[in-house]
Amino acid sequence: MPAGELEYLSGFGNEFTSEDPRCPGALPVGQNSPQKCPHGLYAEQLSGTAFTAPRKENRRSWLYRIRPSVVHDPFERVEADRCEHFSAVNWNEHPPNPNQMRWRPFDIPAAPTDWVDGLRTVCGAGDPRARHGLAVHVYACNASMQDKCFYNADGDFLIVPQQGSLHVVTEFGRMDVAPNEICVVQQGMRFSVAVSGPSRGYVLEVFDGHFQLPDLGPIGANGLANPRDFLTPTAWYEDRSVDYTVATKYQGHLFEAKQGHSPFDVVAWHGNYVPFKYDLAKFMVINAVAFDHADPSIFTVLTCPSHRAGTAIADFVIFPPRWSVQEHTFRPPYYHRNCMSEFMGLILGRYEAKEEGFLPGGATLHSIMTPHGPDAQCFQANTEAQLRPEKIADGTQAFMFESSLSLAVTKWGEKTCQKLDDNYFKCWKSLKKNFTPPKP
Ligand SMILES: O=C(O)Cc1cc(O)ccc1O
Ligand SMILES: [Fe+2]
């Protein structure tokens, strides 16, 4: 890993320009496709929306590179035993199960495993061929991708490291992403992940469209995740002739192609279709300051909207450290049945609704209309507590992928991983009847 801090460009959805400082003048001026690009580079457009998408949604970037991406040998399908549990699109492989699910922390393998080989699909819905749906994956790995990159033809990845920092080299430049930060690498962007030890985290993949900032409505012009805190890499290239593997997920299946050079040969680029990272500690948290528990949509960092107003393919929601000050209120999350699916993970600390059992690196899934809420201990403690202003602990960070789709759990998620906690339902069993009707 290179020493020192990387440089980034700040903003969300901006039109950026970037040039590797080792090669000034690489970015053409005044046009995208000169007859001859500066320094003998090739021009290549990467389109993230239809050419004709409305201007406010239109996303594309121009890359100026040593060779165009098309210089590679044919893709071949990766043998099933090397990627059996990643990228399932067969959501019918396992019968549905409406129960509350809780996973113990997913194991980090002992054998050398890189980021792509360490991906496992837990749940999802929809179909990348129809460009509609999502998948939730976890990764657990301990080795850097060696002369190997990956791109997802099926959709965008929102990556949530839980343990171990990721050094993510992309065609647009490099990003360091630590636990409590996230990054988004969008459809088609090539990237390679280096790690410095055992590493684990979560991936939200959306097939429909790109993540955007939620509207703020009456909150006003500022707040939640502020646009300037999103960081995009600056151009960085290597001119390396080497036996290189380009891996891709295409229509839910893994393929690999060989080429004789590094794909990170982009010397300059411009555009608004870019990868980015975000530090969750920068989230401007809003909370109820009088009474009652506000819905967790106030903690939405990013959303991938569906065509139904206010209804997401997937929201990325966090539960950050904050003051809890509500008076005469049961402060933890309420008991709940939801028309949305709620997949949760824990990055740090503990989650306010659960005293035990939900651990960093583990997960829960509360499916559509499946009841859930605080465990018995949490209910008891918070019904009796003397209510004072209280900090919901520093050093805690849970998150939720919330989706309007009904998620199928894969065979890996329900069986093979052997992390499903059969005792989860018991955390509510001791909730007792407290009803005291008025005496007749
Ligand atoms: O189920 C959960 O723990 C997530 C959640 C949190 C919250 O504060 C309110 C509703 C909700 O679904
Ligand atoms: Fe909920």
CA-based radius of gyration for the chain: 23
| Nearest CA owner, ligand 1 atom 8 | 333
Spot the catalytic one: 293, 307, 328, 366. 293
Contact yes or no for 121/410 (Cβ under 8 A) = yes
Is 26's C-beta closer than 6 angstroms to any atom of ligand 1?
A: no
| Nearest CA owner, ligand 1 atom 12 | 336
261 is catalytic: no
Q: In terms of DSSP bridges, do strands 322-324 and 60-65 run parallel, antiparallel, or are they unpaired?
A: unpaired
Question: How many angstroms separate the CA atoms of 306 and 315, rounded?
Answer: 10
Compute how many other C-beta atoms are within 10 angstroms of the C-beta atom of residue 294: 12
Which ligand ends up closest to the CA of 344?
Answer: 1
β-bridge mates for residue 60, sequence order: 47
Q: Which helix (H) or strand (E) covers residue 417, if one does?
A: none
Q: Is the ipTM of this complex over 0.95?
A: yes
Contact yes or no for 360/347 (Cβ under 8 A) = yes
> Among 286, 287, 295, which is best to mutate for testing ligand 1, by the most ligand atoms less than 8 A from CB?
295
Per-residue pLDDT of the chain (440 residues; tens, 9 = 90+): 445 799 999 999 999 999 999 999 999 999 999 999 999 999 999 999 999 999 999 999 999 999 999 999 999 999 887 888 897 678 999 999 999 999 999 999 999 999 999 999 999 999 999 999 999 999 999 999 999 999 999 999 999 999 999 999 999 999 999 999 999 999 999 999 999 999 999 999 999 999 999 999 999 999 999 999 999 999 999 999 999 999 999 999 999 999 999 999 999 999 999 999 999 999 999 999 999 999 999 999 999 999 999 999 999 999 999 999 999 999 999 999 999 999 999 999 999 888 788 999 999 999 999 999 999 999 999 999 999 999 998 889 999 999 999 999 999 999 999 999 999 999 999 999 999 999 98
CA angle centred on 198, ends 192 and 204, rounded to 5°? 55
For residues 35-54, one letter each, b for 16 or more C-beta atoms within 10 angstroms of the residue's C-beta and e for the rest, the string is eebbeebbebebebbeeeee
Contact yes or no for 126/133 (Cβ under 8 A) = yes
